[in-house]
Chains A and B, each alone.
Chain A
Amino acid sequence: MHPYAKFGILILIIVATLGWLAMEGVSETKTYYKTIEEMSAMGNEAQVKRLRVGGDVEVIERNGQQVKFRMIQKENGKNLTLNVIYNGKDPLPDTFRIGAQCLADGKMGTDGVFQASRIQAKCASKYEAKPGVKPGSSSYAKPTTS
């Protein structure tokens, strides 16, 4: 057999294996981006699928390892809020604070409180204004998510 043919077969095997691993990886870890409004419309499905929801952090309550907070999202002129409980193992990032923008991964609980297993907060190095926000205005100092 020509060396290129042998080489091609080996590469095919490797690529197929990696493709299979990638497919498995995707199906195991896929998380759906949803807004608070979309999540509300999902009904019971929100309790089954792994979801990622983002917003500004408001009112943090720390009780030992458990952290409760409220997330606010501005959509179509409305302020939508979501109560979140974080029970994850990893320490919360130091950038997680009131006013910070964060992403919470988890599932909606039956009680309407989002059960987050992972919290990401905007990297400290990238706090900037949203386009169009005037410097000096109250919202300017807020970090923005991309």
Chain B
Amino acid sequence: MSRKSESRHQLSLFDPAIMRTAAIDAVKKLSPHALAANPVIFVTETVAALVTFLWLRSLWLGRGDSPSFSGQIALWLWFTVLFANFAEAVAEGRGKARAATLRASRSDTLAKRLVDPEGRSHLDRVYSTVSARQLRVGDVVLVEAGDLIPSDGDIIDGMASVNESAITGESAPVIREAGGDRCAVTGGTTVLSDWIKVRISAQPGNTFIDRMIALVEGAERQKTPNELALSVLLVGLTLMFLIAVVTLWSFATYSHTTVSVTVLVSLLVTLIPTTIGGLLSAIGIAGMDRLVRFNVLATSGRAVEAAGDVDTLLLDKTGTITFGNRMASEFIALPGVELRKLAEVALISSLADETPEGRSIIALAKTDYGIAEPDLTAKSPVVIPFAAQTRLSGIDIGESRLRKGAVDSVLKFVGLPADQVAPEFRQSVDRISRMGGTPLAVAVDHSLLGLIYLKDVVKPGIKERFAALRAMGIKTVMITGDNPLTAAAIATEAGVDDFLAEATPEDKLNFIRKEQTGGRLVAMCGDGTNDAPALAQADVGVAMQTGTQAAREAGNMVDLDSDPTKLIEVVEIGKQLLMTRGSLTTFSIANDVAKYFAILPALFLATYPELGALNVMRLSSPQSAILSAVIFNAVIIVLLIPLALSGVSYRPVGAAALLRRNLLIYGLGGLIAPFVGIKVIDLVVTALHLS
């Protein structure tokens, strides 16, 4: 993963400034209107108010439970609500901080709207100055060096270097130019040099930055499908326990015992899933935030969840699986040619070649063959640069013409018909192609010397990543423009499960459709306009920030770092989000067992002292038992906030192993933890004479 982006937006989990704001927000969120979206916590707040009333009544009238008991219960019920609010507020805090920075770049930009966008008349540089907010889709603006780009759009004329740090945090400028895949510009970024004409493509208030602000702030946060389903489950459980507790009053009456409302309410609150209910939205916000910190923007939480479900990853070969550049890895001389001679010619012919391939040839000749770089200044060499027509490059030194280039071109250069080439040469060419490499032929004048094996270098560690993905049940598919032979070789080396060679955009789209019909979810990344249909078809489409506007619109995520490798991490973040929810739900539900053992014996001890046998924790008194359970229930929310925000630890292993592990930690842990916790709190409560 890219460290730089991680560190750039890293705010410590409990940044003091965020904590302060969150504490205030937690109180603001007590408004029942705000809480109505969270039924579990809403119920808790309602009963907190009820117990507060009972406490006041017992203070005034001296009826009911002792004021110190009901007062403490009321206090801890309020704490339960506040802690839940606090969790959400902390999670929102970081997003808000980021949004504030983004807003600054948006404030009141002026735009130079061209009077004659087509530029057909002499008025082609005449503009009127308007506010960025007045720009409409289709307007064309002129942006010159030093100007902020007023809104999103595509360059229709010119080329400029643009500082996009406002969005990506990366200060190195990028080149943007008309036509092709680098024509999109984003409002809020700055043109550093030259000028461009931009056709606006976003309505005011709906620009990329606007959407980004809304996203990181969570303003438009809607419950994701899984979150919705989980909420339904939690409401169901709440209703179930509500029935259980309300009816208990009647059963107590039958048993000639009276149970105070305070105690019944305590039982209710400890049984309903307050832990997960309190942390649910924090988990969701934190999941989005993890993506944002990772410099990936998801257009919706739904996309993040879908990432966790992905079965097939479509990865571009270049840049994701291999380094973009090929490297020389071997010289292969023709029979009768000295290897050193070949290496020397290769080196000399590459001296003027500034491409990474050229430099890798020089490096190989120097390090592996010990060739020194000759001093040619005296010989007045003539550099023959690479040209698309000849597909050759080299140097002329005096009468000698040293060349390297595509095999066919070099053969033509030496004037050798293909059928007269030495069979060894042919075999070597084939071998290199089969291994996924590119052969370059080397020649001096009319004699063919041999081959340079340019290797497509697979990124170190990528094979292990794919193995990990396979263990998670995710299939990786490499997309490449290479021929099937080359593609197969690289696919084997990188350890992908499948590849799509000589892939056209239609091929990609069809492949995605085929996978989806087979019941698989597909993720891919892309940047070009021709990727847009596939990005839109994919369940998770990550568009590169450097890509075209069309691509960015089509995907449901944008990677601000434009690093296609990140697709893998995006999947992991999605999985982690779901796992955190599931694990904390399990923990919350498993907690109930211990709470029964704490409260039930205490509830009826007056009428049935025999039920004391169920008091397995040996809690000191009924009141202490109830108070301890309520305190545990509140405190556990706070204790779990860090986990909710950072997510449960994730390892790329299969589902069975994950389930075993999480079930052990959060299921079994959820059964045991409250027994210990309630007992400890009971000891403290008793020692402090709180009950």
Is A bound to B? no
